[in-house]
Amino acid sequence: MRKQISLLLLLIVAAGFALCLAGAPFGAEGARESRRLVKDNVNYGRRYVSKGLDENRCANIVTSVVLNYRGFDTLGEVTILFIAALGLGAVLYGRRAGASPDEAQRPSLILSTGCRLLFPLIMLVGIYIFIHGHLSPGGGFQGGAVIASGFLLICLGCRKKKLNSVALGAAESLSGLAFVLLALIGLAVGGSFLLNFLPTGKVYALFSGGIIPLIYIAIGVKVGSELSGIIDNLSGEVR
Amino acid sequence: MVSPILLIAVPLALAFLTPMVGLASKSARRYMPAIAMLFNFIVAMSLLPKALEAPIIVRTAGWAPPLSIHLVAGPLGLLLSSLVALIGLLVAIYGIDYIREGARARYDVLYTLLLVGATGVVLTGDLFNLFVFFEVLCISSYALVAYRGDSAGVEAGMKYLIQGAIGSSLVLIGIGLLYGTVGTLSMADIASSVGSVAGSRLFISLAFMIAGFGVEAAIFPLNAWLPDAHSSAPSSISAVLSGVAIKAGLYAIARVVYTVYGASSILPFLAVLGVVTLLVGEMCAFAQEDIKRLLAFSSIGQMGLILFALALSSATGISGAVFLIISHGLAKALLFLATGYMIYRTGSRDISSLAGMGKRMPIMSLCFTVGAFSLMGLPPFVGFASKFTIVRAVLGTGSTFFITLLAIGLIGTVIEGAYFLRIVQWLYFKPAPEAMPEQTEGRAPLTALVPVGLLAVLIVTIGLLPGIVGRALGPAADDLLDRAAYIQHVMGD
Amino acid sequence: MIVFQTFLVLVMIVAALAAAGFRDLLGSVIACSLVSLMASIIFYFLQAPDVAMAEASIGAGLTTAIFIFAISKTKRHEENEKTD
Tens of pLDDT, residue by residue, chain B (493 residues): 688 999 999 999 999 999 888 888 888 888 999 999 999 999 999 999 898 888 898 888 888 877 888 999 999 999 999 999 999 999 999 998 888 777 788 899 999 999 999 999 999 999 999 999 999 999 999 999 988 878 888 899 999 999 999 999 999 999 988 887 787 888 988 888 888 777 777 888 899 999 999 999 999 888 889 999 998 888 999 999 999 999 999 999 999 999 999 888 899 999 999 999 999 999 999 988 899 999 999 999 999 999 999 998 889 999 999 999 999 999 999 999 999 888 888 888 888 888 888 888 888 899 999 999 999 888 889 999 999 999 999 998 888 999 999 999 888 889 999 999 999 888 888 887 765 655 556 677 888 899 999 999 999 999 998 888 888 898 999 888 888 899 888 887 5
Residue closest to A171 by CA, chosen among A147, A187, A135: A147
The model's pLDDT over B351-373, given as tens digits with 9 standing for 90+, comes to 888 888 888 888 889 999 999 99
Rounded-to-integer distance, Cα B10 and Cα B470, Å: 29
**Higher-confidence position of B146 and A41:** B146
| Cα B350 from chain centroid (whole Å) | 25
Rounded-to-integer distance, Cα B184 and Cα B187, Å: 8
Nearest to A238 among C54, C61, C72 (CB): C72
Nearest to A141 among C49, C54, C76 (CB): C54
Does residue A228 surpass a pLDDT of 70?
yes
Residue of A146, A226, A233 to mutate for C, most C C-beta atoms under 10 A: A146
**Higher-confidence position of A196 and B371:** B371
Asked if residue B43 is part of any domain, the answer here is yes
Domain count, chain B: 1
**N residues, chain C:** 84
Asked if residue B447 is part of any domain, the answer here is yes
How much is the pLDDT for A36?
A: 55
Residue A1's Cβ-count burial label (10 Å; 0-12, 13-18, 19+) is exposed
Rounded-to-integer distance, Cα B146 and Cα B438, Å: 29
How much is the pLDDT for B435?
A: 59
Chain A residues with CB under 8 Å of B177 CB are 21, 24
Rounded-to-integer distance, Cα B371 and Cα B378, Å: 10
How much is the pLDDT for A30?
A: 60
ipTM associated with this complex = 0.91
Give the range of the structural domain holding residue B344, as residue numbers without chain letter. Answer: 6-492
The model's pLDDT over B285-300, given as tens digits with 9 standing for 90+, comes to 998 889 999 999 999 9
Helix (H) or strand (E) holding B419: helix B400-429
Rounded-to-integer distance, Cα A6 and Cα A153, Å: 44
Asked if residue B1 is part of any domain, the answer here is no
How much is the pLDDT for C83?
A: 44
The model's pLDDT over C23-81, given as tens digits with 9 standing for 90+, comes to 888 889 999 999 999 999 999 998 889 999 999 988 888 899 888 888 877 754 444 44
Q: Are B322 and B76 in contact (CB under 8 A)?
A: yes
Chain A residues with CB under 8 Å of C65 CB are 149, 152, 231
| C47 interfaces chain A, CB cutoff of 8 Å | no
Rounded-to-integer distance, Cα B307 and Cα B253, Å: 9
- CB hemisphere CA count around B474 (13 angstroms): 6
Asked if residue B424 is part of any domain, the answer here is yes
A-C Cβ pairs (cutoff 8 Å, strict): 48
